[in-house]
Every structure is written in structure tokens, then in C-alpha cells.
Amino acid sequence: MKKYNVCVVGIGAVGTEMIRLLKKRNFPVQSLTILARSERTELVDGESYPVKVAAPEAFEGMDFAFFAGTEGAKGASQTLGWEAVKRGCIVVDNGDDFRMDARVPLVIPEINPEALKDHQGFIANPNCSTIIALMPLVAIHKAAKIKRLIATTYQAVSGTGSSAIKELEAQTRAWAAGQPLLREVYPHQIAFNLIPCVGSFKDDSGETTEEIKMRKETHKILDASIRVATTCVRVPVLNSHSIAIHVELEKPLSPDQARALLAKTPGVRLEDDPKNAVYPMPIQATGQYDVLVGRIRKDASVENGLVLWCAGDNIWKGAAQNAIQIAEELVARNWIKK
């Protein structure tokens, strides 16, 4: 098998998992280069990785560049992404700078791999919550067409990055010791609290940037006719996002029919036996390739309504894993354009 020169831009929470998953998934790596803002050495699972300064010339000779979008690297693709493409490198960007760019396919490989076919060297990873929500919804949409989607997310602090993980851990220790709970990452205490704001408020709509992303990305990936409403909430969970999803369908689809569809949907694992305490939980989803789905039931408030609950590893399937799967798809289909 042909091997490829690969670089990862950023070595925060997502970049670190990209390094792990490239190895775990046996991606055909000829060489691995880590790029960030400063030169140094980083340890990942006991192995030392030299980190070079991210600059246009660093992409010479590279086949794939994964932009992690963490550790200050968010926005790095804005400066360096197309520079890498100019040098013959395929960019897979975890950031949100180019998701709505008409030149850039926005891809979940299990859902819309065909969008990769005519890529121009730059491919975007969707938002983590969008990926986790759409993975179980695509089969339902194909079977009964979703008219309206209401999603409430319960998003782990790892979505903010490694500094947020440390803040939750430090606040929890401080609470147990009866000490003041210091905060730097979030505007409010996150330990033992919920913050109904993920992203920022940039207009007068009342929606956060995260909520807007979910609507726009659902339209680009799945179907622009779906009416989408979301509320995104940060919760005191270390890793893995959970989402409560209500869908209104054009055609009837029973919970049992939905279960049968989801049981054979690639990348989805059915965990739906609530009487025996079997349902998706973030602690269970962490470190899993699949999105877990359960609590499937009828929504009696609308005609042809269903409710489901899902959980997925936002750093794996919601970010690093999905990016690597995009590259795997390009290799498998021989859609690598140099």
C-alpha cells in the first residue's frame, strides 16, 4: 500500500487524538510531522514528537494536513490552509472557517462521501455536535424524510479544549476541599453547573454560533429543507457530547422501525433497553468509534414524531476520527488529486 507524508497542525486535545488515531487506525503514514505556533517536543503516550513551527514552507512534500483547530490553531487554516493546498497537500480542516465555503465539501464519510469526489484540495470537518446528531438521523431521513428537527445538546468541556478539562478538574477538587472555585476558561463556574451558551452571541437572533452551525451544516450535509432549532448547553462532563433529538417526519415511522434501521446503520450502535438501564451515556461513548443511540420513542406532540437520545465522543467521531476517516475515504476511492 502506498504511504503518505502527513502533518497535524495543532497539538491540543484534538491534535493529540489525531496522532493516536492515525496509529490506532493504521493509516498508511510514511512520515508524521507536528506543526504548531512554537518549536518544542511533545510526549504522546510516552513517545516524543518534535513540533515544528507552522509556516507555508512546512507543507512542502506533504500529502495530507490535518488542522486540529485547538491549542491556538483555530483559525490556522485561514492563514495556512490554502497555502498547503498550493503545495500539493490535501487539507482536512477541523475548524469552522471554511465549512460554508462553496469550494469546500463538508463531509461525514458515512453520510455524504460523494461530496469528496470533486474536492479542490480542501475539505472541512463538520462541527462535533452536527456529526453526532446526524449519524443516527441519516437513516431516519432516508426512510421517512425529516421535516423538522429540534436538538438540545449537552456538550462536554473537552469541546473547548484541554484548558477547559483542567478547569473542570481543578474546580471539582477545590469544591471537595472547600476552597474557592477559580475560573479562567468559562464566564461561570462549570463544576456542578450548566452553561446554556456554547460559542458566542454575534447577532440579535438570540442564537449562539454553535446553534447556527448546527442548522447551517445540517442543511449543507443532509437536506436544506429541514427546519432546525437547537439549544446548545455546556455541561460538567469531561468528554463526549449527548444530544436529545426530536424529529417530525413526513411519513410514519414507528420506534421499532427506527430501531431496526439504526441497528444496521454504519457508525451507529444501538443502546436501547431502558427498562434494564441500557441507554447512551457520555462515559460509555468515550473512546468509541460509533455514536450510541437509544431512548427511541414516539413523540405524541406532533404527527409522525420520534424522540431519540444519542452520545458520541466529540474528540474522536466529532473531530479527529472523522477527519482521518475523510482521508481514508480519499485513499480508498483513489480521489487524491495532486
pLDDT tens for 179-230 read 999 999 999 999 999 999 999 998 899 999 999 999 999 999 999 999 999 9
93-119 pLDDT, tens per residue?
999 999 999 999 999 999 999 999 999
Same domain, 148 and 289: yes
Same domain, 186 and 310: yes
CB atoms under 10 Å from CB of 12, counted, come to 18
Same domain, 90 and 203: no
- Rounded to an integer, the average pLDDT of 275-291 is 98
The whole-number pLDDT of residue 338 equals 56
Residues 157 and 236 sit within 8 Å (Cβ to Cβ): yes
Residue 252: all three cell numbers together? 410514519
Q: Is the pLDDT of residue 252 over 60?
A: yes
The whole-number pLDDT of residue 71 equals 41
Given pLDDT bands bounded at 50, 70 and 90, which one contains residue 75? Answer: confident
| Residues designated catalytic | 128, 241
Same domain, 244 and 306: yes
Helices 255-263 and 128-144, packing angle to 10 deg: 120
338 located within any domain:
no
- For 198-202, the CB contacts below 8 A with 24+ separation are 198/153, 198/155, 198/159, 198/232, 198/233, 198/234, 199/232
Question: Could you tell me whether strands 305-312 and 291-298 are parallel, antiparallel, or unpaired per DSSP bridges?
Answer: antiparallel
- Using alpha carbons, list the distances in angstroms from residue 29 to 4, 7, 60, 83, 331: 5, 10, 16, 22, 12
What is the domain range of residue 66? 4-125+319-333
**What is the count of structural domains for the chain?**
2
Angle in degrees, CA 67, 214, 143, rounded to 5: 110
Residues 278 and 104 sit within 8 Å (Cβ to Cβ): no
Instruction: State the Cα torsion 249-255-258-264 to the nearest 10°.
Output: 170
Q: Is the pLDDT of residue 243 over 70?
A: yes
Same domain, 239 and 203: yes
pTM here is 0.96
Cα(236)–Cα(47) distance, integer angstroms: 30
